[in-house]
Amino acid sequence: MLRAVEGGASVVVCSTCRLSAESREDDGGRRGGALLAEAVRKLRDDDPAYAGIAVQDMPCLFICERHCTVHVRGTGKVGYVLGGFTPDEDAARAILDYAARHAASEEGVVRYADWPQGVKGHFIVRTPPDGFVCT
């Protein structure tokens, strides 16, 4: 069930997420999560500012009440799960902008003032790194 991936700064995209609260797939039968993963990967590949952020996908992050979810994480850092995105370039940019700030932070904590507008209102949960809890 587990597949090894490189550690470090990454965005894990739920590849099986719904397209929206109303629709499971687009007209071509593609899930929202697959479309979001594609948008994030394309933008990461096209913009060298995001080169240090891995884009990984996995089926089902078990947050089915929120479509198009991602987990922003890094080794030894607080991680964040966000959802409710539209699978497009604007969402991909907001996610990658946040992930870049997360990667640059010491513990994975990004000041609210530094959050990209496109991620505000999308946070679902924060996860402490293995061996730690937040204070």
Q: Which residue has the higher pLDDT, 134 or 91?
A: 91
Q: Is residue 14 part of a domain?
A: yes
Q: Is residue 59 part of a domain?
A: yes
Q: Is residue 2 part of a domain?
A: no
For 43-102, the pLDDT digits (tens) are: 999 999 999 999 999 999 999 999 999 999 999 999 999 999 999 999 999 999 999 999
Q: Is residue 127 part of a domain?
A: no
- What mean pLDDT, rounded, does the chain reach? 96
Q: Is residue 123 part of a domain?
A: no
Domain that holds residue 75: 9-113
First to last CA, the chain: 32
Confidence at residue 122, expressed as pLDDT on a 0 to 100 scale: 98
Q: Is residue 18 part of a domain?
A: yes
Tokens coding 17: 């997420």
Q: Is residue 1 predicted with pLDDT exceeding 90? A: no
Q: How many domains does the chain have?
A: 1
Confidence at residue 116, expressed as pLDDT on a 0 to 100 scale: 98
Q: Where would I find the beta strands (DSSP E) of the chain?
A: 10-14, 54-58, 70-73, 79-82, 123-127
Tokens coding 38: 């594609």
Cα-Cα-Cα-Cα torsion 12, 18, 22, 24, nearest 10 degrees, comes to: 160
Confidence at residue 90, expressed as pLDDT on a 0 to 100 scale: 98
The pLDDT confidence band at residue 121, using thresholds 50, 70 and 90, is very high
Residues 6+ apart with CB under 8 A from 12: 56, 57, 58, 61, 70, 71, 73
CATH number, domain of 42, equals: 3.40.30
Q: Is residue 132 part of a domain?
A: no
Q: What percent of the chain has pLDDT over 70?
A: 100
Q: What percent of the chain has pLDDT over 90?
A: 98
Q: Is residue 100 part of a domain?
A: yes
